[in-house]
């Protein structure tokens, strides 16, 4: 009877030992991925060396914990901040940064995890960005160092706005140099945290709402000045074209009139020659024809003509009537 009770107890104990062994084995083994690095922590204190290569590793079960840290580049996005520039223009600056964990042990001791790191980055990068932007002119923040201030269209517009000295000068620093300075200053504070600051970029610049309407009004006014300048130039050019057109029209009219007079003169000469030729052939008929022609021009349909009996016209008419009889 005792043997019957002992056998189930042995099975239960063996199963319990097996489960305990599996749990212990599971708690002792851990895997480090290629994108990770790990530190073993025992009772809150790091133990052993940094595990930077991927693979299967052992640790003491139950009392040791594995803290994992990402090897890859991590992204930090700050909140937009209202910052005054050196020229006292209030702008909204939105920045972003890329960083990585280069010293996990120091990182663990200083900020413990990524959430703590992001909180510290908020304070450090925002402070450096505010300091640099507030000591820099707006043109230096907006433009690049290699910005070309002399394209033809831009120069013409600059001359219209009367800002040659302000806009035609290349920036001394530029946005790229500004971001490099931000990285250098921020890295000095961030490096002791076991973090490498790889890059800082200004994602967006904009005037704050209170200033934006004034800036828009000023831009509209400047655009209107440019438009008025171009309208004035257009009106001047239009007047110049109208003058040239009028002069050309007068020249063409004068030339046409001269040629018309020449043609009219040649025609009159030809008419005179023809008349002379006709008169030379039959003077009496020519005199008759000219007389009839003069009367056809001077006598209308309602004209009464009084003719003397001795006139040449009456003689011609009398001869015609005699012939008809």
Whether pLDDT at 154 is above 60 = no
pLDDT digits (tens, 9 = 90+) for 9-56: 767 777 777 777 777 777 888 999 999 999 999 988 898 889 999 999
Q: What is the pLDDT of residue 195?
A: 96
Residue 157 CA to residue 155 CA, distance in Å, equals: 5
Whether pLDDT at 174 is above 70 = yes
Whether pLDDT at 3 is above 60 = no
Q: Of residues 298 and 213, which shows the higher confidence score?
A: 213
pLDDT digits (tens, 9 = 90+) for 125-152: 999 999 999 999 888 888 777 666 555 5
Give the confidence band of 124 by pLDDT, cuts at 50, 70, 90: very high
Q: Convert the chain into a string of H (helix), E (strand) and C (coil).
A: CHHHHHHHHHHHHHHHHHHHHHHHHHHHEEEECCCEEEEEEECCEEEEEEECCCEEEECCCCCEEEEEEECCCEEEECCCEEEECCCCCEEEEEEEEEEEECCHHHHHHHCCCHHHHHHHHHHHHHHHHHHHHHCCCHHHHHCCCCCCCCCHHHHHHHHHHCCHHHHCCCCCCHHHHHHHHHHHHHHHHHHHHCEEEEEEEEEEEEECHHHHHHHHHHHHHHHHHHHHHHHHHHHHHHHHHHHHHHHHHHHHHHHHHHHHHHHHHHHHHHHHHHHHHHHHHCHHHHHHHHHHHHHHHHCCCCCCCCCCCCCHHHHHHHHHHHHHC
pLDDT digits (tens, 9 = 90+) for 215-253: 777 788 888 888 898 899 899 899 999 989 999 999 898
Q: Counting beta carbons within 10 angstroms of the beta carbon of residue 91, is it exposed (0 to 12), middle (13 to 18) or buried (19 or more)?
A: buried
pLDDT digits (tens, 9 = 90+) for 185-201: 999 999 999 999 999 99
Instruction: Among 52-61, 154-163, 188-197, 199-208, name the most confident range.
Output: 188-197
| Percent of the chain scoring above 90 in pLDDT | 32
């Amino acid at each position: 009877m005792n043997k019957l009770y002992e056998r189930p107890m042995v099975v239960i104990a063996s199963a319990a030992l097996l489960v305990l062994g599996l749990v212990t084995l599971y708690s002792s083994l851990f895997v480090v991925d290629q994108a990770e690095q790990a530190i073993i922590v025992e009772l809150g204190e790091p133990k052993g060396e940094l595990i930077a290569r991927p693979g299967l590793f052992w640790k003491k079960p139950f009392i040791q914990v594995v803290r994992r840290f990402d090897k890859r580049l991590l992204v930090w996005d700050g909140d937009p901040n209202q910052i005054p520039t050196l020229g006292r223009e209030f702008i909204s600056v939105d920045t972003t940064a890329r960083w990585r964990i280069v010293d996990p042990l120091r990182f663990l001791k200083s900020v413990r995890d990524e959430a703590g790191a992001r909180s510290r980055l908020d304070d450090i990068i925002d402070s450096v960005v505010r300091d640099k932007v507030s000591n820099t002119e707006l043109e230096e923040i907006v433009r690049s160092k290699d910005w070309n201030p002399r394209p033809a269209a831009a120069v013409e517009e600059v001359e219209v706005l009367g800002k040659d000295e302000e806009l035609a000068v290349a920036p001394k620093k530029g946005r790229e140099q500004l971001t490099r300075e931000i990285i250098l200053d921020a890295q000095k504070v961030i490096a002791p945290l076991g973090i490498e600051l790889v890059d800082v970029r200004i994602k967006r610049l904009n005037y704050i709402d209170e200033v934006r309407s004034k800036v828009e009004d000023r831009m509209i006014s400047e655009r209107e000045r440019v438009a008025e300048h171009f309208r004035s130039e257009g009106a001047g050019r239009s007047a110049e074209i109208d003058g040239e057109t009028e002069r050309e029209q007068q020249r063409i009219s004068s030339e046409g009139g001269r040629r018309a007079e020449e043609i009219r003169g040649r025609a009159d000469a030809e008419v005179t020659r023809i008349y002379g030729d006709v008169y030379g052939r039959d003077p009496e008929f020519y005199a008759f024809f000219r007389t009839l022609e003069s009367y056809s021009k001077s006598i209308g349909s309602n004209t009464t003509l009084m003719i003397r009996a001795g006139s040449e016209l009456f003689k011609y008419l009398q001869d015609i009537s005699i012939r008809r009889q």
